[in-house]
Amino acid sequence: MPRRTLNLGILAHVDAGKTTLTERLLFAAGVIDEIGSVDAGTTQTDSLALERRRGITIKSAVVSFSIEDLTVNLLDTPGHPDFIAEVERVLSVLDGAVLVISAVEGVQPQTRVLMRALRRLRIPALLFVNKIDRAGAGEERVLRAISARLSPAVVPMGSVSGLGTRAAGFTAWGETDAAARVRLAEMLAERDEEILAAYVDDELGVPYARLRRELASQTRRALVYPVFFGSAVTGAGLPELMDGLAGLLPAGTGNAAGPASGRVFKIERGPGGEKLAYVRMFSGTIRTRDRLRFGGEGRDHEGKVTAIGVFERGPATPRTSVSAGQIARLRGLDEIQIGDQIGESPPGAAEPLFAPPTLESVVAARRPDDRAALRVALRQLAEQDPLINVRQSPGELAVSLYGEVQKEVIEATLADDFGIDVTFRPTTTICIERPVGSGQAAEPIGAPGNPFPAALGLRVDPAPAGSGVAFRIEVDVRSVPMYVYKTVGNFAAMMTRYVTRALREGPRGWRVTDCAVTMFECGYISPSATAAHFRKLTPLVLMAALDQAGTVVCEPMIRVSLEIPAGTVTPVLAAVARLGGAAAPPVLHGDIAMLETLLPAARAQDLQRLLPGLTGGEGVAETSFGGYRPLAASAGRAQSSGGR
Ligand SMILES: Nc1nc2c(ncn2[C@@H]2O[C@H](COP(=O)(O)OP(=O)(O)OP(=O)(O)O)[C@@H](O)[C@H]2O)c(=O)[nH]1
Ligand SMILES: [Mg+2]
């Protein structure tokens, strides 16, 4: 019988204990004989020198272990919000997750961000309340916060003894725990008619085995979330959590005979600088020496797999093939990048889950001789790191950023791995441009500005905020050079790619979005017109159309939800006003005040820096992306080449 595989993500707010829990699970499953520690820098995951030095996880990492006939591929993720893009990649390849919550700190801002993502993607998850051995740990308090702030559909799986001491333990409830059984039946009955009918007849009348089956079924459909308690340091609650992994989360064998399809969620360089791609297979089988098609937005490549390492027990083991459900590390695909799809598209191609990076910084080599090397190094980092988006403007290299910690990590990586010392300019905000009106332009064949044997006309219209770019073709198919593009679909795909590329930098120097681009004219002289002519015409025509439409520069906004002591409302509101935000009147819950405000991204960071001082360390800020807002003085036509 083929082994079942569970691809399991470990997610949490920073420092909740993901890496420590990973280590514990590997130990409990017999993969390692000694338990490493994050503080001593000796864990299996967190293997990068920089992670060990800082004691935080920066990159996701994969390790495997077995529970009977089940192989668990565990993906340890970073909790720091600067590395959220790393988590986003991992989410797209998971069968299930463990969301770790500290019993001391309780539900934290990032816990909510991650839970929202799990719910949106309908990823089944177990909640693990960690650190029950630490002074200040809570049980009921944490459960109440979980129900109120994460999901009301949670099922506690047992009770804690010795809370807040080294001897803290967790005991799972069983058939004879009447009160827990009634609560479980009640929760499950909300989503199952049969259980409801039986439960209404007799609270204890539903057979226990039936309840457990229904709990597994509802957990696998991400309708309810079982809650376990324990300690990754002492090992309390670990056997119960492992039973939960094997019994409550979905695991499959997949269709190994189907067409090959997978997704790349991590890229690494091997000791010789060769590229290693971590792929989760959704269907089919890949063998060594197979030629594979892979790519992402606007990229299409082919390459030969030269070696395969499959995750089965601990790190990757050399194998000749990898099949549906498994995770493998592939060698030989030189052009591959993070986020790429292999073969057929896997289900649910990605729409961004989290806010885009709103900050960027110009990076420069300290030694002028390193300039070219820096360009190469950043390109390599961008291939393996979903966070690093490099933008080149004349004479400058800018990287997009989520925050200052990420900046420090990039700086250290460039120094450690590439021997390049860099300086960063102060962080600035990444704006976008939106068209304010409609505009159109055309280059007929033979026009003074058009040296090509091809004609193109494009119109730009504003589209609703957040809608992105839509491209439409409104020309007769007979005006399309079929000898170049073979099919209309192909032509549309290539034109979409040219348009997307041209919109990366608008008249004011920012990415143009929230617009509809319509092609209303097309022509060619056969057989001299080629794809290159349409590619070169597109930015010329589009920029002319955008100049006519006029664009407005918009800055990213962050919604900040604050929970502060009621006594600190006045100074906090004053600070919000100074930073340019307006806040609705605060809502009081006892001695806690809740308020919400919308601030420009850079100002939101200032507020987070000020908050501890303003609230005696008691205030909590939760941030989410609040869309883009026009900069006051920027509407109208472009006057000069740049908005930066
Ligand atoms: N007392 C106690 N300490 C714990 C427990 N789990 C983790 N810790 C400690 O908490 C700190 C953070 O643990 P990590 O495992 O690095 O947390 P993490 O969630 O992986 O952190 P990031 O990956 O950086 O987000 C370390 O000092 C651990 O020793 C626990 O169950 N009990
Ligand atoms: Mg970690």
Ligand nearest to the CA of 16: 1
Chain-centroid distance of CA 94 in Å reads 12
- For residue 10, pLDDT over 80 is answered with yes
pLDDT of residue 635: 46
Whether residue 638 contacts residue 436, with contact meaning beta carbons closer than 8 Å, is answered with no
pLDDT of residue 644: 36
Which among 11, 13, 14, 20 is the best mutation to test ligand 1's pocket, defined by most ligand atoms within 8 Å of the CB? 20
Query: Ligand 2: distance of its center to the CA of 84 in Å?
Result: 13
- Ligand 1: list residues with CB < 6 Å: 12, 14-20, 38-39, 56-57, 78-80, 130-131, 133-134, 231-233
Cα gap 26→267, rounded to integer Å: 23
- For residue 515, pLDDT over 90 is answered with yes
Mean of the pLDDT values across residues 160-183?
A: 95
Which atom from ligand 1 is nearest to the alpha carbon of 12? 19
Q: Whole-structure pTM over 0.75, yes or no?
A: yes
Query: Ligand 2: distance of its center to the CA of 432 in Å?
Result: 34
pLDDT of residue 633: 59
Ligand nearest to the CA of 25: 1
User: Mind listing the pLDDT tens digit for each residue in 53-104?
Assistant: 888 999 999 999 999 889 999 999 999 988 888 898 899 999 999 999 999 9
pLDDT of residue 467: 87
Locate the DSSP E strands across 68-199: 70-76, 96-102, 125-130, 154-156, 158-161, 169-172
- For residue 639, pLDDT over 70 is answered with no
**Amino acid at position 630, single letter:** P
pLDDT of residue 2: 63
**Amino acid at position 378, single letter:** L
When pLDDT is cut at 50, 70 and 90, the band that residue 300 belongs to is confident
**Omega into 527 within 30° of 0, i.e. cis?**
yes
Mean of the pLDDT values across residues 440-457?
A: 95
**Amino acid at position 20, single letter:** T
- For residue 208, pLDDT over 60 is answered with yes
When pLDDT is cut at 50, 70 and 90, the band that residue 156 belongs to is very high
pLDDT of residue 277: 95
Neighbours of 161 (CB within 10 A): 14
Residue whose entry in the numeric block shows the structure tokens 């083929």: 2
Greatest C-alpha distance within the chain: 88
pLDDT of residue 323: 93
More confident residue, 149 or 173: 173
- When mean pLDDT is compared across 101-110, 251-260, 494-503, the lowest value belongs to 251-260
pLDDT of residue 85: 84
Cα gap 260→549, rounded to integer Å: 45
Mean of the pLDDT values across residues 120-127?
A: 96
Ligand nearest to the CA of 110: 1
Query: Ligand 2: distance of its center to the CA of 37 in Å?
Result: 11
Chain-centroid distance of CA 199 in Å reads 41
User: Mind listing the pLDDT tens digit for each residue in 218-231?
Assistant: 999 999 999 999 99
- For residue 640, pLDDT over 50 is answered with no
Ligand nearest to the CA of 45: 2
Q: Supply the mean pLDDT for the chain.
A: 90
Cα gap 407→413, rounded to integer Å: 10
pLDDT of residue 273: 81
- Sequence-distant (≥ 6) Cβ neighbours of residue 481 within 8 angstroms: 454, 524, 526, 529
Query: Ligand 1: distance of its center to the CA of 231 in Å?
Result: 10
pLDDT of residue 443: 96
Mean of the pLDDT values across residues 431-460?
A: 95
Cα gap 25→235, rounded to integer Å: 9
pLDDT of residue 95: 96
- For residue 320, pLDDT over 80 is answered with yes
- For residue 351, pLDDT over 80 is answered with no
Which atom from ligand 1 is nearest to the alpha carbon of 234? 31
Which atom from ligand 1 is nearest to the alpha carbon of 79? 25
User: Mind listing the pLDDT tens digit for each residue in 540-597?
Assistant: 999 999 999 999 999 999 999 898 999 999 999 999 999 988 888 899 888 889 999 9
Ligand nearest to the CA of 38: 1
Query: Ligand 2: distance of its center to the CA of 547 in Å?
Result: 48
pLDDT of residue 274: 87
- Sequence-distant (≥ 6) Cβ neighbours of residue 213 within 8 angstroms: none
pLDDT of residue 373: 93
pLDDT of residue 643: 34
Locate the DSSP E strands across 218-273: 225-229, 261-269
pLDDT of residue 280: 95
Query: Ligand 1: distance of its center to the CA of 412 in Å?
Result: 23
- For residue 1, pLDDT over 70 is answered with no
Query: Ligand 2: distance of its center to the CA of 46 in Å?
Result: 7
pLDDT of residue 551: 97
DSSP letters, 378-393, are HHHHHHH-TT--EEEE
Atom 24, ligand 1: residue with shortest CA distance: 56
Query: Ligand 2: distance of its center to the CA of 13 in Å?
Result: 10
When pLDDT is cut at 50, 70 and 90, the band that residue 356 belongs to is confident
pLDDT of residue 14: 92
pLDDT of residue 150: 94
Nearest to 312 by CA among 300, 322, 302: 322
Mean of the pLDDT values across residues 465-473?
A: 91
Long-range contacts of 206-215 (CB under 8 A, 24+ apart): 208/175, 208/181, 211/181, 211/184, 211/185, 212/247, 214/188, 215/155, 215/184, 215/188, 215/248
- Sequence-distant (≥ 6) Cβ neighbours of residue 613 within 8 angstroms: none
Cα gap 483→39, rounded to integer Å: 64
- For residue 537, pLDDT over 70 is answered with yes
More confident residue, 100 or 639: 100
The percentage of the chain sitting over the pLDDT mark of 70, rounded to a whole number, equals 95
Atom 6, ligand 1: residue with shortest CA distance: 17
Query: Ligand 1: distance of its center to the CA of 594 in Å?
Result: 29
User: Mind listing the pLDDT tens digit for each residue in 387-422?
Assistant: 677 877 777 888 988 888 888 999 999 998 899 999
pLDDT of residue 349: 44
pLDDT of residue 337: 87
* Helix (H) / strand (E) containing 179: helix 178-189
Mean of the pLDDT values across residues 256-275?
A: 88
Cα gap 571→308, rounded to integer Å: 59
Mean of the pLDDT values across residues 267-288?
A: 91
Which atom from ligand 1 is nearest to the alpha carbon of 230? 31
Which atom from ligand 1 is nearest to the alpha carbon of 46? 23
When pLDDT is cut at 50, 70 and 90, the band that residue 352 belongs to is low
- For residue 322, pLDDT over 90 is answered with yes
Burial of 127 (0-12, 13-18, 19+ CB in 10 A): buried
